Structure 1
Amino acid sequence: MKTYREFIAWQKAMVFVTDVYKLTQSFPKEELFGLTSQIRRSAVSVPSNFAEGFGRKGNNEFIRFIRISIGSLYECQTQLEISKNIGYLNQEIFDGLFNQSKEIEALSRGLERKIGK
């Protein structure tokens, strides 16, 4: 691959972060510096760490950043679940975002294994 933009995991992570940003626009204003900010930062970290790792040009570094990206994905999943639990998200919206995140995770894990060989 010539660029990180060619990876499906990165592409899907970009859709995910865009969806998260759109969704959190409806969160209460008092959450702007709380949960809204936390969710957005963790979602942004997913494609960002992927890109940064690719830019390091070493397989071990790329794998390390893929793992960091997956950690950010878990963080975002947790924050989305908190949002659902307190009533900011309904079950259907949560399920959609959670499924998106699981797909990104699976693609990232597959790439991690492929690069590690």
Structure 2
Amino acid sequence: SLTDQIRRAAVSVPSNIAEGKGRSSAKDFINFLSVARGSLYELATQLYIAREIGYLTEQDFSSLSNRIEDLSHKIIAMTKYLRSKK
């Protein structure tokens, strides 16, 4: 069941970004970016659990965590950019 949750959260991130981009306003896009970031944090938590129960090595966890952190920073930067355009 954890694997399914990880997959859903991982798919949710780019799906929400894409859906937000397709909306008609920056405000809508910002809302979807927020949802995507929430899914990213959900994914990070699930990976932490997977590491704790031995499904992920420390090396894999660290690599994935770094990628999640990088994407989170990019989402924050995009959000700030969109807010500055209002």
If the TM-score is normalised by the length of the shorter chain, which range does it land in?
Answer: over 0.9
Q: Distance in 2 between matches of 1:66 and 1:93?
A: 26
Structure-1 residue corresponding to 2:34: 67
Q: Distance in 1 between matches of 2:45 and 2:82?
A: 28
Q: C-alpha offsets along residues 18-71 of structure 1, whole Å, 9 cap, x if unaligned?
A: xxxxxxxxxxxxxxxx00100000010000000000001200000000000000
Between Structure 1 and Structure 2, how many residues are aligned? 84
Structure 2 gap ranges (5+): none
Give the share of equivalent positions with the same residue, in percent. Answer: 44
Structure 1 gap ranges (5+): 1-33
Q: SS at the partner of 2:54? A: coil
> TM-score by structure 2 length?
0.96
Q: What letter corresponds to residue 62 of structure 1 in structure 2?
A: F
Q: Map of 1:1-117 to 2, 5 A cutoff?
A: 34-117=1-84
Structure-2 residue corresponding to 1:8: none
Runs of 4 or more off by more than 3 Å in structure 1?
A: none
Q: Distance in 1 between matches of 2:3 and 2:60?
A: 16
Q: Distance in 2 between matches of 1:109 and 1:91?
A: 26
Q: CA RMSD for the aligned pairs?
A: 0.4
